[in-house]
Amino acid sequence: MFDSRPDRDAEVVLVGRSNVGKSTLMRELTGHTFDTGQRPGVTRKPNHYDWAGPDFVLTDLPGFGFMKGVPEDVREEIKTDVVRYVEANAEKILVGILVVDGKSVVDIIDRHSGPEEIPHDVEMFHFLREVGVEPVVAVNKMDKVDDEDERLDDLCDRLGLHPPWQQWQETIAPISAKRGNIDALNEAVRHHLHEAQRDDLFQFF
């Protein structure tokens, strides 16, 4: 279990597979660079960004799923730790940002869908909802996607949201973190912060 969490009553977490650009997004949101390690799976502990002042912390949780050179039992352990962290702090987490790679997420979901298997991204999306955390899917690397609307509709379909994706703008946020294009995510997060009566946190999004 991760035990380094700052004592804050409001939190926004970033979750997602390895290599989807969570650290780049974290840097874009905070203006700070985080030590991410050179290889996927190196970030084993949460990165907390704790602003002085407001009662708020932004947390980048370790990436899960397949990681080259990382044994399966270690991968499972990381995912279990992430799930436990979210469960333990669910009452304080106002938004769970699930970061996915817009270019490959639909293919990855389809490859891992079967009677015995639920794809990680789909599982995490529904898990956040089950524990009462509002999920926002940050669909990253959209600058590399040609058929944006079709891709986002397909993703909605896989997540159990009826397309077209445009009716889910509080939940589906197409972004390109590397290019600094994260307006859709900020809008979606603000929607949920407003619902939670925390407009004071808009300054961070």
pLDDT of residue 41: 52
CATH class of 10-204: alpha beta
From residue 82, give the alpha-carbon distance in Å to each of 136, 181, 188: 17, 27, 23
pLDDT for 102: 97
pLDDT tens-digit profile of 70-89?
A: 888 888 888 899 999 999 99
Packed helices 72-89 and 120-130: angle between N→C axes, nearest 10 degrees: 20
pLDDT of residue 31: 85
176: β partners: 181
Residue-averaged pLDDT of the chain: 90
- pLDDT at position 68, please? 79
Residue 123 has pLDDT above 70, yes or no: yes
Please state, for a pLDDT cut of 70, what percent of the chain lies above it: 94
Measured distance CA(119)–CA(60) in Å, rounded: 21
For the segment 7-58, what is each residue's pLDDT rounded down to a tens digit? 889 999 999 998 899 989 998 998 877 665 555 555 678 888 887 778 999 9
How many whole angstroms separate alpha carbon 4 and alpha carbon 59? 11
Contacts (Cβ under 8 Å, ≥6 apart) of 149:
164, 165
